Structure 1
Amino acid sequence: MGFGTHMDGCGNIMKYSLFVVNLITFVGGIIAVSLGIWILVDRSFANELVGTNLYAGSAYILVVTGLLVVLISCLGCLGSVKEVRCMLVIYFISLFLIFVTMLIGGILGYVFRGKVEKTIRLGMDRSLNDYGSYKPVTDAWDETQIRLKCCGVYGYKDWKNRIPDSCCKTTSDGRRLNCQDVDDKNHHVINTEGCLNVTTEFVKKHAVIIGTSGIVVSCFLILGMIFSCALFKLIE
């Protein structure tokens, strides 16, 4: 029996509350997927320098669970409108599993933020000697130094006598200066700041986005579980 003859007010409040929560969750899922993909693409240039898969792993969790949230929120909307109890049960169980997974992804983002400097420093130190002989590392260093306008781990002297062209500054017209014979007198042609600090800050900002997105969406999932339980009990 539907809400037509019993508990019209309370039943409809729960039904439409669950519907609204699912709409918000649907939008949140899309945003989470978009943010996860953006982070994976935006930080891919430093893959070989970060030194851990924890950061990428939390971004992948955000993408996968975000997609599941989108699908499950559609199921929740349908279950609330049609007042189908079995759909609400499936919805609740799925929501709980996604909640746990997304919360873990969010926590991983914050955990990584706390250890990011150490892992990046170790990764950069190890990869210095592979520059020029291992293409993924070479490309990662070049793109990191170009995009973040930095050089070496702590500074250009880390490269000793083999400073990469990617350390050179560019002119206003996009022309890259020559920095092969850099010394203390002409170091103005080179990006003197080390990549460790700027890369750490860059990754930390992305880790905060991962953590915050996962936790915010998880809060909406809790609301979905609460309203689905209430609606389940009200459906006769």
Structure 2
Amino acid sequence: MGCFGFLKVMMFVFNGIIFLAGAAILGVGIWVKVDSGSILGFLKGIKDAPAEINQILNVGYLLIAVGAVLLIVGFLGCCGAMKESRCMLLMFFVIVLVVFIAEVAGAVVILVFKPLAGQLIEKLGTKVVQNIRKDYGENSDVTALWNATMDTLKCCGFYNYTDFTDSPFEKYTHLYPQQCCHSADFSSCDDTSATIIGCFPKLMQLIDKNTIVIVAVALGIAALEVLLTPSLALSISRSHSLFFQIPQM
């Protein structure tokens, strides 16, 4: 396999990954907007929630837009490389260059404004805890949503188990949700054994742990795409020139 073939394979592999990632993100975005039982629907129903929460509720549209762009980029990259289409590769290069610039700007925004996002969620936390203490154990939708969230993230409440104090569930059972305890015995999950971390601290831990890695990988892939595309396009141009060259007599 020559250099030209290697570039084609690399372009196909990278853009295949981008295409699949775009499909996954698009699917998640559609699910967020369609699923009425999602966490966003729950947050939207919280009374007296901070006005800034409306921006979080638009995350579904953002995911759909990002997924669609990635699908287009992946398609153009794969087909442009396999079909050796300079037009498709040029379109791909322009889009990737714009995305790369946007990623750099987005990375700066994420790193700079991440503390502000944490403050917004903390501000929302008071209202969320009030909602838990009012409806958990009595409202089936709220109860099911929190159970699913805690099962998925392996966490307990918004801050910790005390969020459930004085909730209908705690008043009736004098216990805390099973997700708040390491023990599988529900009857022993009281304030002495409820040691599982809250969902907000757990989420912040995940963000702190993975943000830099995700941003670095995204920027690295975009930079590699920007470097590979002109090389592949130049190789295609040269191969076409040699193919159509008329031998001199």
TM-score (ref. length: structure 2): 0.59
1:136–1:169 CA distance, 2 compared to 1 (3 A)? closer
Q: Greater relative contact order: 1 or 2 (C-alpha under 8 angstroms, separation 6 or more)?
A: 1
Residue in structure 1 matched with residue 224 of structure 2 by the alignment = 220
Residues 73-121 of structure 1: CA deviation (Å, up to 9, x unaligned)? 12321353xxx54444334334434444555666666566554432322
> Deviation at 1:122?
2.3
- Tell me the secondary structure at the aligned position of residue 75 of structure 2: helix
> Deviation at 1:137?
5.3
Residue in structure 1 matched with residue 147 of structure 2 by the alignment = 142
1:156–1:88 CA distance, 2 compared to 1 (3 A)? closer
Q: Distance in 2 between matches of 1:147 and 1:205?
A: 18
Which segment is superposed worse, 223-232 or 97-106?
Answer: 97-106
Q: Distance in 2 between matches of 1:200 and 1:104?
A: 22
Residue in structure 1 matched with residue 187 of structure 2 by the alignment = 177
What is the Cα-based RMSD across aligned positions, in Å? 4.4
Q: Distance in 2 between matches of 1:49 and 1:203?
A: 20
Retained in 2: the 8 A contact 1:152–1:159? yes
Residue in structure 2 matched with residue 8 of structure 1 by the alignment = none
> Deviation at 1:56?
5.8
Q: Distance in 2 between matches of 1:35 and 1:108?
A: 24
Percent identity between the two aligned chains = 17
Within 5 Å, give how 1:44-55 maps onto structure 2: 46-47=39-40, 48=42, 51=53, 52-53=56-57
Report how many aligned residue pairs link the two structures: 214
> Deviation at 1:19?
1.1
Q: Work out which of the residue numbers 162, 166, 182 in structure 2 matches 1:161.
A: 166
Tell me whether 1:75 sits opposite 2:79 in the alignment: yes
Q: Distance in 1 between matches of 2:139 and 2:106?
A: 31
Q: Distance in 2 between matches of 1:208 and 1:61?
A: 22
Q: Distance in 2 between matches of 1:121 and 1:143?
A: 21
TM-score (ref. length: structure 1): 0.62
Unaligned segments of structure 1, at least 5 residues: 1-11, 180-185
Residue in structure 1 matched with residue 120 of structure 2 by the alignment = 119
> Deviation at 1:219?
1.9
